[in-house]
Amino acid sequence: MTYALDTQLNRTIFLTTMSRTQTHTLLGMDREELTALVSEADESGYRAKQIMDAVYRQRVESLAEISTLPQGFREELAASGVTVGAARIENKFVSQDGTLRYLIAFADGQSVETVWMPEGDGGEAGDGSEAGDEADSSLGISGTKAPSEKDEAVAALKRCATPKPSRSTICISSQVGCAVDCQFCLTALLGVKRNLTAGEIVGQVCAVLKDQKVSPPEDRINLVFMGMGEPFLNYENFMKASRLLVEAVGIAERRMTVSTAGIVPRIHDFGQETIRPKLAISLNASNDALRTRLMPLNKKWNLEMLITAAREFPLRTREWITFEYVLLGGVNDTPENAKEAAGLLRGLRCKVNLIALNPGPGIDFTTPAAERVTAFQNILREAGIPAFVRRPRGRDIYAACGQLKRTVAAATSPEPRLQSISPVAEG
């Protein structure tokens, strides 16, 4: 009798405590937090694992779907304001090259974009992911030999003849908008609205995996934090999300890469993390005057500070830092810029992704000619720095690098393939 009263009292305290706080979402809770949740409800500890498996592996969207939990416990959770917190796909845009741009909506009416790049896109070389490493190895890490059309055709035939598990890439966002204000990026035009929670970051991945009907680790998924926002300005939530993606969703950390515009103090912090993705740094200029013009944060953390942080970064075995360099026609793409960049990076264990500007309305720069891109690449390679030209993906639907602005109208292709679930206002 006493035990029954104690149990009922514990449940009453649990419901009262939860009702005094804001709505809690299971998505974003780690094992320790879920263990505390079930303990407060006077449930057995193994319930935490059941919830974790349901939310992160089965990717349920409601409490009712967690069939391993007793109905009474599910009802108590719902009554106390607990929800799964699953991300909702508001719109989906399909590119001619197979890339998908998702508009992911949250409960407060805000939204972000997440991009799915199908397997075998041939553009991963140098992106810091394991797929990139595989692409690099086909050329040799020195990058001295560019693939010919014949080489690419043979490689494509081999891929078709030898089925492999998926190695698609998901590009996810860490903030609604972005505060960094890079002058060549459409996302910067939004400004920053707010940080995403760890659950909202992981929720993007879960929503896309469910929509694509793939599941890591059985399917080899690469993940890049290169969508909307600066991850290192939302550091704690980004790091918690990274740990959840490894420990709960099942994506290997060696298959994840985070890109920063150069938040130097956080680069130092990041190097001390036990679980961390690979590091990519947006360089985009070869000297301070030019970088400050293109990336105003260079006033706070200049190139000397940034390169010093990169040199001090504790790389793991076979790990490289990736530097991203967006080429703007007639601005930062000259042979002199290439030589200056080579001087900055000489001696670093690094590789460079060259990205010809992906255009968009409101951006006052132009895409450089292909021969200028090739010339820039060759100068870096001759200096002993592996350099790779990233093929744009989803440019026709504003899904390519620097184009994420929650745009509803499909973009630059005369005949874009667009699948829209429902309209969302831009901005």
Q: Which residues are catalytic?
A: 113, 401
Determine the Cα–Cα distance for residues 237 and 232; give it in Å rounded to an integer: 9
Using CA atoms, how far residue 334 sits from 342, 367, 373, 386, in Å, is: 13, 13, 9, 18
In sequence order, the 6+-apart residues with CB closer than 8 A to the CB of 340 are: 286, 287
**CA 93, 94, 96 angle in degrees (round to 5)?**
145
For residues 204, 112, 263, 339, the Cα torsion angle rounded to the nearest 10 degrees is: 100
Determine the Cα–Cα distance for residues 165 and 282; give it in Å rounded to an integer: 30
Whether the upstream peptide bond of residue 265 has omega within 30° of 0, thus cis, is no
CA-closest candidate to residue 104, choices 117, 121, 85: 85
How many residues in the chain? 427
Residue 221 one-letter amino acid:
I
Determine the Cα–Cα distance for residues 391 and 103; give it in Å rounded to an integer: 23
C-beta separation of 169 from 124 below 8 A:
yes
Long-range residue pairs from 395-398, CB within 8 A, at least 24 positions apart, any chain: 395/95, 395/358, 396/95, 396/96, 396/97, 397/93, 397/94, 397/95, 397/99, 397/101, 398/93, 398/101, 398/186, 398/360
Sign of CA dihedral 324, 111, 201, 251: negative
